[in-house]
Amino acid sequence: MAFALSISANFFGVRQMKSLGYWNKLIFLSLLVVATKAAATPFYLHDFQWDIGASVPGWSAGTIQSAPNPDYGGWRRFLGEFSNAGTTLSLSGLPSHDAVTLSFDLYLLRSWDGEASDYGRDQFGVRADSSLLFRESFSNGHPAGQSYCPGGVSPCSPMTGAVERYSLGYKFGYWDVDANKTAEEVMDAVYRLTFDFSHTADSLILTFFGEGLQGMTPDYLDESWGLDNVRVTLHTIPEPSVLALLLIALTFLWAARPGRIGETVIVSLTKPKTLPHR
């Protein structure tokens, strides 16, 4: 038995929308779907604008730091500073979900050497539970470049893909690295990273780590990193009923395409056809 659905192009006020044009309506609906995902409430969100030196619940290491340069909104604080050991964020009690979006700002401080064979490779990575999400080298100036080259060929120039360069105010001195350079100079970059991955468990451990870093001693601050604006958002694949509603909406838009206003449409799973409105 064929399933038939009859709708009118006048339904849902399509006459009021027709001035938008068919493709504009389709784009509008698509944007609505995307916006629904974008507007999802984060399960975890932290900007680390806390008191300097404070630890943050859920994180295995790191304390609140304040960058030497202020941000336009006040003093820029973040979680850091880390070397190779890094830190983990442990989340539990996650509601039902099918996928996760993780995003954060990565602060790379001082002399990251990227692909250099002498002082590198200097890499940053992320794991979700036991799965490796990301591991790339970064250069804050070393001409060997870096492997993180979004949309380009690796290796690429230092700081490729950074959203900020020399903005945080962290200085590096060439005390015993290069006798020709004695002055300190600002050397830092900020990257905005986002990862989408499948995940259904009710707990999640996110591991952030460094590799190949010289590290820091009290008298020699070489290269380190920090995290800011960490956001974890959970997503659920739409239920079949939601997909059915979307199918009806798309069918409605098809019916409302230019020249079809006022017609009645018969949708059949076995033999789709249209009938003129009478």
Residues that bind Ca ion (CB under 5 A): 47-48, 77, 113, 119, 122, 214, 228
> Which of the 8 DSSP states describes residue 71?
B
- Residue 100 Cβ, how far from Ca ion at the closest point, in Å? 22
The answer to whether 92 and 213 are in contact (CB under 8 A) is no
Query: 107 or 252, CB closer to Ca ion?
Result: 107
For the stretch 14-21, contacts whose Cβ atoms lie closer than 8 Å and that sit 24 or more positions apart, written own/partner, are 14/252, 14/256, 14/261, 15/261, 17/256, 18/256, 18/261, 21/258
CB of 129 to Ca ion, least distance (A): 26
The CA distances from residue 119 to 113, 145, 147, 160, 261, in Å, are 6, 12, 15, 19, 68
DSSP tally for the chain: helices H, then strands E: 3, 18
Helix (H), strand (E) at residue 107 = strand 99-110
- Residue with smaller CB distance to Ca ion, 214 or 233: 214
Both tokens of 249, joined, read 């909406």
Least separation in angstroms between residue 181's CB and Ca ion is 16
> In the bound complex, what is the minimum distance in angstroms from residue 51's beta carbon to Ca ion?
13
CB of 49 to Ca ion, least distance (A): 5
3-state secondary structure of 271: coil
